């Protein structure tokens, strides 16, 4: 694979749309669950999308956000991530989400969200540097190849609401000068005042961002270069670089048909950053865009629950409860970090509930207990299937049952109080020995014939129960 805009390669594998499929886990760190039990599980109610040949099925595991805001400068990040993908894959990660990969206005200092040349991945001397903040084009190529060798899908961060770094031109639509004359060194996607708001198509866009030049997606030149043509951004990123899916930045800034048009053209997993805590609004957007959305409703309810010491908020409306197939859950990301004291409890929540969970790089690699996160990832991938019933909920305690497949499933008990708590609960297992798969409790109780059992959870902690 060569990342050269002058040459295109033939697509070897077709992307397909969202579909249900049997999920077989490649993670065998905990042998208590047999291969036969795992093979009987179907990923009902979560994101599942077929991938390129040899890769894991997106939605069968967990996504890793493989960066944070202001990662180290100096072009080392792609190599840093490359060194970690084998361990991540072994832990049960099925996809890595990278920051925007193309050259941006601030060159070697930019996190990529001020895009200038969509086809410069660190090989052209412009915007003050050759490499991007993250590294060179060849280092990106090596990272993608290594991720694919380990079965991981690679998700591109797509910033198509705005651009930055254009030259000044006399703009007939504003009556003054605007920085809307783009002449990228790659020779790809020249654009000018006609491609931005305001223009001859419409007078403006109510959702501009940060004073940046605002792309007009109704213009034919913009559509052709972003997704329609054979050398479009979408096709090039898929066929030449090897991206397997898309994370769309600031989708409030443009209409949802843009995301749908993109994925209709090139396929692939897609999730949008629609920053809104209203589950109904998120549900509407996913239907219009034909894509998933980060579950900000879940994020804000978890913040209220764990930081506000009110676990009743976990009973509130969230996208995963309305449409788990379209919900991508998260505890924090490069823009948000409002859950502090209860962060492990929040991960226990998203990694045992419906939706497609995301783990944040710094939480996994720096801030939290990696062994505990790996344990929850294993539980998610191997035990936490089926529909969800909330069994108990008050300010300090939350208990839910995942009903599983073939009589497996789990019961998760989250305890935000300062002491051990215990409760009798209804399970799906009659006269069965159960255990806490987190190891926090040493109990191995036997369920009653009527399927009831007493379980416990540690202070400021959690337990996850299933048949032994």
Residues with Cβ within 8 Å of 430's Cβ and at least 6 positions away in sequence, in order, are 447, 448, 449, 450, 451
Lookup: tokens for 76: 């080392």
Query: 164: exposed, middle or buried (C-beta count within 10 Å: 0-12, 13-18, 19+)?
Result: buried
Q: Quick check: is 249 catalytic?
A: yes
What does the block give as tokens for 212? Answer: 């940046």
How far apart, in Å, are the Cα atoms of 465 and each of 46, 281, 299, 376, 384? 21, 34, 24, 12, 10
Tell me which DSSP letter residue 105 carries.
T
What does DSSP say about strands 93-97 and 388-393: parallel, antiparallel, or unpaired? unpaired
Does the annotation count 273 as an active-site position? yes
User: Which of 245, 241, 235 minimizes the C-alpha distance to 266?
Assistant: 235
Angstrom distance (rounded) from CA 178 to CA 168: 5
CB atoms within 10 A of CB 431: 10
Q: Which of 131, 146, 249, 397 is catalytic?
A: 249
**161 known ligand binder:** yes
Which one of the listed residues 94, 273, 295, 363 is annotated catalytic? 273
Q: Are 401 and 384 in contact (CB under 8 A)?
A: no
- Please give the Cα distance from 310 to 232 (Å, whole number): 48
* Cα 102 from Cα 121, distance rounded (Å): 5
Active site positions, annotated: 249, 273
* Residues annotated within a binding site for Ca(2+): 161
* Residues annotated within a binding site: 161
């Amino acid at each position: 694979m060569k990342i050269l805009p002058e040459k295109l390669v033939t697509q070897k594998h077709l992307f397909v749309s969202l579909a249900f499929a049997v999920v077989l886990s490649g993670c065998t760190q905990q042998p208590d669950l047999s291969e036969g039990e795992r093979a009987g599980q179907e990923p009902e109610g979560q994101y599942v999308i077929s991938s390129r040949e040899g890769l894991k099925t997106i939605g069968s595991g967990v996504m890793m956000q493989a960066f944070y805001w202001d990662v180290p400068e100096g072009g080392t990040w792609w190599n840093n991530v490359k060194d970690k993908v084998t361990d991540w894959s072994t832990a049960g990660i099925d996809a890595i989400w990278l920051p925007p990969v193309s050259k941006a206005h601030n060159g070697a200092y930019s996190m990529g969200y001020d895009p200038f040349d969509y086809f410069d991945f660190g090989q052209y001397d412009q915007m003050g540097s050759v490499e991007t903040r993250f590294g060179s084009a060849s280092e990106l190529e090596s990272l993608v190849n290594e991720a694919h060798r380990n079965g991981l899908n690679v998700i591109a961060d797509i910033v198509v609401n705005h651009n930055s770094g254009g030259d000044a031109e006399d703009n007939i639509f504003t009556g003054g000068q605007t920085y809307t004359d783009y002449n990228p060194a790659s020779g790809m996607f020249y654009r000018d005042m006609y491609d931005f708001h305001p223009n001859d198509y419409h007078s403006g866009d109510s959702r501009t961002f940060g004073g940046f030049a605002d792309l007009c997606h109704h213009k034919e030149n913009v559509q052709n270069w972003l997704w329609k043509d054979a050398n479009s951004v979408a096709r090039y990123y898929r066929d030449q670089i090897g991206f397997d899916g898309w994370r769309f930045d600031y989708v409030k800034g443009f209409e949802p048909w843009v995301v749908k048009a993109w994925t209709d053209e090139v396929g692939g997993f897609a999730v949008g950053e629609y920053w809104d805590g209203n589950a109904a609004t998120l549900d509407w957007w996913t239907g219009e865009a034909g894509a998933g959305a980060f579950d900000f409703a879940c994020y804000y309810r978890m913040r209220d629950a764990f930081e506000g010491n009110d676990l009743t908020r976990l009973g509130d409306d969230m996208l995963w409860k309305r449409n788990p197939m379209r919900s991508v859950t998260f505890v924090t990301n490069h823009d948000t970090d409002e859950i502090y004291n209860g962060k492990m409890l929040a991960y226990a929540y998203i990694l045992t509930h419906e939706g497609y969970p995301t783990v944040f790089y710094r939480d996994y690699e720096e801030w939290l207990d990696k062994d505990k996160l790996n344990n929850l990832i294993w539980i998610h991938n191997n035990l936490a299937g089926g529909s969800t019933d909330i069994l108990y909920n008050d300010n300090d305690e939350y208990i839910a049952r995942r009903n599983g497949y073939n009589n497996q499933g789990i019961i998760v008990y989250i305890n935000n109080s300062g002491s051990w708590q215990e409760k009798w609960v209804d399970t799906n297992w009659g006269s069965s020995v159960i255990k806490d798969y987190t190891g926090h409790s040493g109990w191995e109780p036997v369920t009653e014939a009527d399927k009831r059992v007493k379980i416990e959870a540690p202070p400021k902690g959690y337990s996850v129960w299933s048949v032994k």
